[in-house]
Amino acid sequence: MAKTQYTCVECGYKSVKALGRCPNCGAWDSFKEESPVGRALAGGSRGGLAKVRPLPNPDAVVRLGEVDPGGETRFESGIAELDRVLGGGFVPGEVLLLGGEPGVGKSTILLQVADRMLRQGKRVIYLAGEESPGQIRLRAERLGVSGDLELLRETELETMLATLEAAPPEFLVVDSIQTLETASAPGSLVAVRDATSALTRFAKAHRVTTVLVGHVTKEGVVAGPKVIEHVVDATLYLETAGNFRVLRSTKNRFGPVGEMGVFRMEEAGMEEVANPSEAFLAERPVGAPGSVVALTLSGERALALELQALAARTPFPAPRRVSQGLDSRRVDVVLAVLERRLELPLGNLDVYVNLAGGLRVFDAGLDLAVALAVYSAVVGKPIPADFAVVGEVGLAGEVRSVEGLERRLREGKRAGFERLLYPGVVRNVEEAVKRLI
Ligand code: TYD
Ligand code: MG
């Protein structure tokens, strides 16, 4: 008697029909049939089955003190910048999604990781769905990857899983999740979701650390990102930042989020940039107005970065405010403070503010640098090149304390900046301007 019901796996919207697109959240192909039995067991239906209750599980409740903490079983990838983002290394059975635009270097870095794993004595399987084994061999040889790497050429999900079940590896790379074939069209939301769930079950059952590659389209999403992100343990994104590649985590069940790993794409693959401050400051135009060095924090790591501002006269009544790599709302507030508290005339100027090097850092500690760079650009006087600055700016123009100040100052000194301007040394933006400009 009970009717079949369909539920959107993205948002939980219920319908009597499977809809192509969810009217509630807009997801495509997201309806899944919910069986009357499933609903009855969930306690929701009027059917007779609602009274069926499973036997209680005697092990369902356990005292916290008796839980086995599992111990520290991580293993390092051997690539320090990656381990930093992972939170110290991979965890056995962990499932990770590595997202990024085509060509950013996902396959390259994973071949390099696979090689490190092989050299640690682990068995590694690389599912080659994107490129032919011949292409992979050519690239792998260039990267110096061990010939012991096993390539899996099967992209039909069930067959592939059966092959893996027969002899599970310790480390698995699936390149990419969008190439796997299921009953649904490859790359579709349902296919990606089903493949991710099946691979996650496999990874957990056999404690296989698994990295799923997911292409991000120009619009900036992996097909079905919400579905995947819910299922996997960690989501990493690789993106281009100027001449660099930056790896970040947006979710990590076994580690921090907000950490950043910096790489450079070289002839021999992805090379770590162990000293990002120096790398990002390398092209700094010393002595140019509008340029200042800021001490920022990205995850646990402090960085010295160049911040640039440019001001240009405009005939239009609404001047442009363009910021790159920064929180534009914070930049707007700093500009308002400069106009109102320091009487800097910005009314007929377009203002551009840019974190040099292509990085994106949303950090209140960059406020003071924004204020000084814009002031310097407007009045056309440079800021001394041996200064590095940090501080949040309040609405009254006061310079406020920031998170991780000690770490930032240490990084400033390490990067060679003798003179530092920070909360406590200056009380407000006006004093900072008097000191530097
Ligand atoms: P790739 O890893 O194939 O990107 P993705 O898997 O994210 O699509 O990297 C593609 C680009 O990287 C390609 O344009 C060539 C370049 N590349 C190098 O510069 N050096 C190298 O050692 C390798 C392997 C690739
Ligand atoms: Mg690739």
Per-residue pLDDT of the chain (437 residues; tens, 9 = 90+): 456 788 777 777 788 888 888 887 788 888 887 655 444 444 444 444 445 677 788 888 888 888 776 665 899 998 999 999 999 999 999 999 999 989 999 999 999 999 999 999 999 999 999 899 999 999 999 999 999 999 999 999 999 999 999 999 999 999 999 899 988 877 778 888 899 999 999 999 999 999 999 988 766 555 555 668 889 999 999 999 988 999 999 899 999 888 999 999 999 999 999 899 999 998 899 899 999 999 999 888 999 999 999 999 999 989 999 999 999 999 999 999 999 999 999 999 999 999 988 899 999 999 999 999 999 999 999 999 999 999 999 999 999 999 999 999 999 999 999 999 999 999 999 999 999 99
Q: Is the CB of 106 under 6 A from ligand 1?
A: yes
What distance in Å separates the CA atoms of residue 64 and residue 69, rounded to the nearest whole number?
Answer: 10
Mapping DSSP to helix (H, G, I), strand (E, B) and coil, where does residue 129 land?
coil
Burial 375-400 (b: 16+ CB within 10 A, else e): bbbbeeebbebebbbbbbbeeebbbb
Structure tokens at 218: 């120009």
What distance in Å separates the CA atoms of residue 2 and residue 8, rounded to the nearest whole number?
Answer: 19
Ligand 2 centroid distance, CA of 325 (Å): 26
With vertex at residue 294, the alpha carbon angle to CA 402 and CA 300, rounded to the nearest 5 degrees, is: 55
What distance in Å separates the CA atoms of residue 184 and residue 158, rounded to the nearest whole number?
Answer: 13
Q: Is the CB of residue 404 less than 8 Å from the CB of residue 373?
A: no
* Residues sharing a CB contact under 8 Å with residue 259, sequence separation 6 or more, in sequence order: 84, 85, 87, 248, 249, 298, 299, 300, 301
Q: Tokens 């690539």: give the residue.
A: 79
Residue closest via CA to ligand 1's atom 11 equals: 103
Question: From the alpha carbon of 130, which atom of ligand 1 is closest?
Answer: 6
DSSP string, 198-211: HHHHHHHHHT-EEE
H/E stretch holding 83 reads helix 80-86
Question: Pocket of ligand 1, candidates 238, 265, 266: which has the most ligand atoms within 8 Å of its Cβ, to mutate?
Answer: 265
Ligand 2 centroid distance, CA of 175 (Å): 7
What distance in Å separates the CA atoms of residue 226 and residue 15, rounded to the nearest whole number?
Answer: 20
Q: Tokens 């790489």: give the residue.
A: 263
Whole-angstrom Cα Rg for the chain: 27
Q: Is the CB of 268 under 6 A from ligand 1?
A: yes
What distance in Å separates the CA atoms of residue 296 and residue 412, rounded to the nearest whole number?
Answer: 9
Residue closest via CA to ligand 1's atom 15 equals: 103
Structure tokens at 401: 């304390």
What distance in Å separates the CA atoms of residue 108 and residue 118, rounded to the nearest whole number?
Answer: 16
Per-residue three-class SS string for 374-387: HHHHHHCCCCCCCE
Question: Pocket of ligand 1, candidates 108, 110, 126: which has the most ligand atoms within 8 Å of its Cβ, to mutate?
Answer: 108
Q: Is the CB of 142 under 6 A from ligand 1?
A: yes
